[in-house]
């Protein structure tokens, strides 16, 4: 079978959906990629090669899965929809016999162990849960060193935003805890079936070689981030008082951390939040 025929196009996607009696649901963010060029672009930007182990969240009908397997990588795919999960090995066996795929039929948010340790995360994420799923996998699978995800454009821009940007928020700081993020290009709505009513973007990441803090510090930092962006219009000494004590105590802790108590959450880097968490326990 030639390389070009090993991926799914619009006709194959429709046929598979008909075969399974699938009506894509919004609830599960089911917008399937029907364009082989987009799949190859994602696989290339993710840097997936033979020998790697990739975890894919939400393989759906297998469009991206086939692109990942085509490189010779092993893929562990986590799919919540039982009908899709049951069909996937059959599709792969037919289109890329011998490819190394393991399918886990489960809600990705509940997965804490996998049969193989993935080094790369690549996914066209279900839009309604994209950030929680991403953070969940980075938290639980520390062997992941890099990845590339397709998400709703606003969400992707937020994840990759720097402090001071209008869209900088809780997902940006939490993502920065784990590593460095970059947007890697917009994706046309026309490459999906059904066509979504939002734009999509690719976001790549590289995990830090050394974690910036302990697990306990991460939890304390994330609690501060939630408090800061839960009341983003307030100065931090007020917004953080729910976690740090009253506003005077919060100010003293922030000063010890070298952060102005009058600052607002969107001005702080992840290191600033971590410094406050550390000053709190000193």
Read off the DSSP letter of residue 60.
T
State which H helix or E strand residue 270 sits in: helix 270-281
Is 84 a binder of ligand SAM (CB under 6 A)?
Answer: yes
Which backbone phi and psi does 105 adopt, to 5 degrees?
-95, 95
Q: Is 187 in the site for ligand SAM (CB under 6 A)?
A: no
First-residue to last-residue Cα distance in the chain = 63
Name which position in 7, 46, 55, 60 contacts ligand SAM (CB under 6 A): 60
Q: Does 79 bind ligand SAM (CB under 6 A)?
A: yes
Number of residues that bind ligand SAM (CB under 6 A): 23
236: DSSP letter: H
To the nearest whole angstrom, how small is the minimum distance from the Cβ of residue 71 to ligand SAM? 16
The residue within the footprint of ligand SAM, chosen from 31, 120, 152, 221 (CB under 6 A), is: 31
20 binds ligand SAM (CB under 6 A): no
Closest residue to ligand SAM using C-beta atoms: 58
**Binding residue for ligand SAM, selected from 12, 16, 52, 59, defined by CB under 6 A:** 59
E strands, 58-199, are 74-79, 101-105, 120-124, 146-152, 179-187, 192-193
Query: Buried b vs exposed e over 12-35: b needs ≥16 C-beta within 10 Å?
Result: bbeebbeeeebebeeebbbbbbbb
Residue 91 or 170 with smaller CB distance to ligand SAM: 91
Residue whose CB is less far from ligand SAM, 64 or 121: 64
Which residues make Cβ contacts (< 8 Å) with residue 100, sequence separation at least 6?
69, 73, 74, 75
Which of the ranges 122-130, 178-186, 220-228, 252-260 carries the binding residues for ligand SAM, by CB under 6 A? 122-130
Shortest CA distance to 159 belongs to which of 123, 204, 118?
204
Does 80 sit near ligand SAM (CB under 6 A)? yes
C-alpha 109: how far from chain center: 12
Among 6, 20, 45, 109, binds ligand SAM (CB under 6 A): 109
Q: Which residue ranges make up the site for ligand SAM (CB under 6 A)?
A: 28-33, 57-60, 63-64, 78-81, 84, 107-109, 124, 126, 129
């Amino acid at each position: 079978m030639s390389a070009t025929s090993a991926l799914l196009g619009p006709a194959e996607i429709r046929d598979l959906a008909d075969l399974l009696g699938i009506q894509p649901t919004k609830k599960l963010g089911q917008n399937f990629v029907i364009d082989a060029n987009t799949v190859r672009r994602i696989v290339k930007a993710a840097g997936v090669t033979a020998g790697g182990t990739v975890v894919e969240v939400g393989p759906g009908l297998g469009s991206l899965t086939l692109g990942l397997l085509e490189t010779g990588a092993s893929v562990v795919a986590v799919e919540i929809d039982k009908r899709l999960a049951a069909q996937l090995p059959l599709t792969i066996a037919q289109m890329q016999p011998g490819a190394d795929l393991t399918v886990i039929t489960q809600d990705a948010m509940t997965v804490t162990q996998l049969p193989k340790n993935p080094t790369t995360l690549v996914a066209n994420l279900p839009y309604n849960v994209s950030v929680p799923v991403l953070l969940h996998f980075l938290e639980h699978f520390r062997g992941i060193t890099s990845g590339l995800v397709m998400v709703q454009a606003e969400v992707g821009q937020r994840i990759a935003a720097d402090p001071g940007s209008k869209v900088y928020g809780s997902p940006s700081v939490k993502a920065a805890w784990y590593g460095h993020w970059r947007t890697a290009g917009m994706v046309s709505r026309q490459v999906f079936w059904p066509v979504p009513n939002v734009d999509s973007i690719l976001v790549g990441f590289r995990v830090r070689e050394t974690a910036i803090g302990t697990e306990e510090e991460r939890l304390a930092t994330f609690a501060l981030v939630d408090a800061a962006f839960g009341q983003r219009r307030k100065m931090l000494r007020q917004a953080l008082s729910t976690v740090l004590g009253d506003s005077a105590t919060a100010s003293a802790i922030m000063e010890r951390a070298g952060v102005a108590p009058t600052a607002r959450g969107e001005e702080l880097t992840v290191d600033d939040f971590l410094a406050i968490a550390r000053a709190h326990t000193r």
